[in-house]
Structure 1
Amino acid sequence: MQTLAIVGASLAGLSAARAARAQGFTGQLVIIGDEPHRPYDRPPLSKDFLLGTVTADDLFLEADADELGAEWVLGSAAASLDAASRTIRLKDGRTVQADGIVISTGASARKLPTLAGLSNVFTLRTLADAQSLAPELVPGSRMAVIGAGFIGAEVASAAASRGMEVTMIDTKPVPFAAQLGTEMGGVVAGLHAANGVELISSAVIEDFYSSEGNVTGIRLAGGRYVPADVVVVGIGAEPNTGWLEGSGLELRGGVLCDAMGRTNVPGIVAVGDCAAWFDESAGAHRRIEHWTGALERAALAVEALLDADAAPKPARPHYFWSDQYGVKLQFAGHSAGYDRLEIEAGDALTHSCLAVYYRGDIPVAVLGMNQPRLFTKWRRSLAAWIPAPAQPPAAVPPPGRAAKQAACSDASALAGAAVVG
C-alpha cells in the first residue's frame, strides 16, 4: 500500500492517521475534510465552549508530537466514491485516488424543514454552530430546546446556568430512556427539574409562530403555547453517507462494517459516527456516536486495512459521558434488554449514585452519577463479559458487483501516489 486516504478530518480521522503511522505505514497520507479547520474536539461545544470557559483554539486536537507527514485537503466535502478504482471525487471537482481508504465522515444534525431559514433557530454539531449559538445565551431570554437527547440536555444546562428560562420539549414519555432505561432516564429528568428547566414530555408540536424571520413561539397539541427567543433543535443526527450512494458499499443506517471496521469492499474501512460496526454481543450492527468510539476503534480499523489477515479483537464496552448542572454522568455498555437495575452505591434522588444493569446475572451496563472512581472499576470489569469476536469476523453482507470488481481488480492499477487535481 503506497497511498492511504482518510475521508473526514475528525477525531476518528485524526485517530486513524495516528494509528497508521504508529503501525508502520510510511506511504503518502491524505486527509480530506469538508470544514476549513483541522480536527477539533466536539464534546466541549455543548458544554465549556458555550459557557465561555474554553476558546476555539483550545479545541484543536493535534499535538506538537504529531508528525503525520500528511497532505491536508480541506474545505471541500467528498461528493462520490468509485470503489472499484478507489477514487474519491470532491464537490469542488478535485479527485483523490488511493490504495486504501478510511471513511470517517461523521454525521450531521437532523433539522426541521419547517424552521429552515429562521435566524434564531440553531442546531449544534460543528464549531461554526457553537460560535453562532454562544452569543444567544443571554440572561433573562427564553430558550426552547426541541428534543431531550444529550446534546439538547447539555445546551439546556448551559443556558440555565447563564440565567435563561429554558423549556425542553420531547416526544418521548421519558427522556434518555433509550440509553439509560426508564428508571434512570426519569432520574436525569428530575435533575433538570431541580435546576429550573421545564421538561414537557410526550409532546406533539402542532405549529410554530414567527415574526420578521424569527420563531416567537411553539404551539403544542392541547393548546399549550411555549414562547421562545431562541430555539435549539436537538433531535439526533444522520450519518454522512449520501456521497456513498452507488459506490458499491453496503449502507443501512450507516456504512456496514464487520467487528474490525472492514466494509464489504476490500481496501476500505469505516470508523466514527458514520460507521455501523457489527456488535458480537448483540448479533447486530450498531452505529456508535460517541467520542471514545471514534478514538479507540480507529486503530482496529487501520490494522484491518493494513493487514487483511488481522485477527479480530474485542472492542471495549461502549462508553459516553455528559456534564449537566455540575453532575458528571458516565455510562458504559448497552442497557437494551436489561431486566434488573441495582443501585450499588449512593442515592439516585441526590444524583450521586452508581447503577448496574443486569440481564439475568450478567452485568450489561453501568451508569455513574458523580461516582468516577467506582464507575471506572465497574467499567473495567464490564469488559470481561464481552464475548470474544467470531472467527473469522462476521457481519458484512455479501459484496455487490462493485465490490467484486474491486476485489478482482489488478492491484497494480491501484498503486501509486494520491492524485489531487
Structure 2
Amino acid sequence: MTTDPWGRVDDDGTVYVRTSEGERVVGSWQAGAPDEALAFFRRKYDALVTEVELLEKRLRSTDLSASAAMAAIDKLRTAVTDAHAVGDLDALSRRLDALSGRAEERKVEQKQAQEQARGQAREIKERIVAEAERVAVETTHWKTGGERMLQLIEEWKKAPRADRPTEQALWKRMSAARNSFSKRRKAYFANLDQEREAVRADKERIVVEAEELAHSTDWGPTARAYRDLMQRWKNSGRADRASEDKLWARFKAAQDTFFDARNATFAERDAELRVNADAKERILAEAKAEISGIDDPRRARARLREYQEAWEEAGDLPRDVRDQLEGAFRQIEDGVRRAEDAEWERSSPEARARAKDTVDQLSQAISSLEAKLEKARAGGDTRRIKEHEAALEARRAWLVEAEKALSEMS
C-alpha cells in the first residue's frame, strides 16, 4: 500500500483521499505503480487549486459581480466536494468559504454603488430638467433656445437611469418644459409678421424723407439730417428680408446721390484752397526754424503772434491737409507755452522756496542717518549698518539733484 499525507493507494489499486470527514474513494489504478496513481490524482488536485487561485485573483483585482462570483464559488465547491483528486481538499473548502465571505461583501458594496449611481443619475437628470425649465421660461433667442432644448433631450437619453418613479416624474417635467417652450416660440412668430409690417411702414417713411433730400445743396444741415435718418433706420428694427433689401437699396441710392454731389463740390473748393496750403507750409517752415532758435520765451511769444496773424490771413485749408498743417502749427504754439511755463517755474519764489525746503530736509535726514550709522558701527549691528548705508547713499544722490535744481533757480 502506498500513502501520502492526503491519500493512499490500496493493494488492489483503489485510491483514497483523506478529509475531515474521513477517507473516501476517488478512483482506482491498475495500469502502473501506486506512486504514479498518487501523482495522477495530485495533478487533478493541483488543477482545482489553480481554479481557486484564479477566482481569488478575479475577485481581488477585477470588477467581477457578486452574483457571478457566487455562481463560480458554488461550482467550484461542488467540484471540490466531489473531486476525484488527492490533496488538502478541506483547505480548498476553507478558501472557498473565505471567497464566499468576500463575495457577500462585494454584493453589499455593489448594492451601495448601485444606489449611489442612481442618486447621481437623479442629480444629473434633475439638472437637465432644471435647465430645460429655465430655457422654457427665460429664453427669447428662439434658434439657440431650440438647439439647447434638443441638446438637453440628447443629454437625457445618454444619462444613466435613476429609479423608475423618479424617471417618470422627471420626464413629465421635461416634457412640460419642452411643450411650454414650443408654445412660447409659436406665439412669438405668430406676432412677428405684424411687427415686421409696422417696421416696413416706418422704414418706407424714412426712405421717402431720404429721397426728398437727395438733391439738396445745403451741405451741413442735410448731412446731419442723413445721420439722423440713419439712426432712425437702425433703431426701427427689421422688416421682412425682401422689403428690407429693397428699402435699403432706395435709402442708399438717395444718400449716395447727396454725398457724391457734396464730395464733388468740396473737391472743387479744395483745389481752389491749394494756394492757401502752400502759403501756410511756408509760414510753418519759417516759424519752426526761427522760434526754435529763440531762448527768451517773451521774444518767442512776440514772434509767434506775428506768425499767428500771418497764418490766419493765409485763409482756409483743403480738407486733405487741414489736420496735418493745423496740428504742426499747434505744436509750435505748445512749445512756446511750455517754455513760458518753465521760465515762470524757474523764476517763481514759491518754486525756489520749495526747492530750498527739499535741500534742507534732505540735509537733516542725512545728518540723522550719519549719527545712526555711527551708533550701529559702535554696536557692531551689521544689519543696521547695511540699512543705514543704503539709506544714506540714496539720500545723498537725491541731495545732489535737489541742490542742482536750486542752483538753476538762482
Higher helix fraction: Structure 1 or Structure 2? 2
Larger RCO: Structure 1 or Structure 2 (Cα < 8 Å, ≥ 6 residues apart)?
Answer: 1
Question: Does the alignment reach a TM-score above 0.5?
Answer: no
Please tell me the TM-score bracket, short chain as reference: under 0.3
Q: TM-score, normalised by structure 1?
A: 0.14
- Larger gyration radius, structure 1 or structure 2: 2
Higher strand fraction: Structure 1 or Structure 2? 1
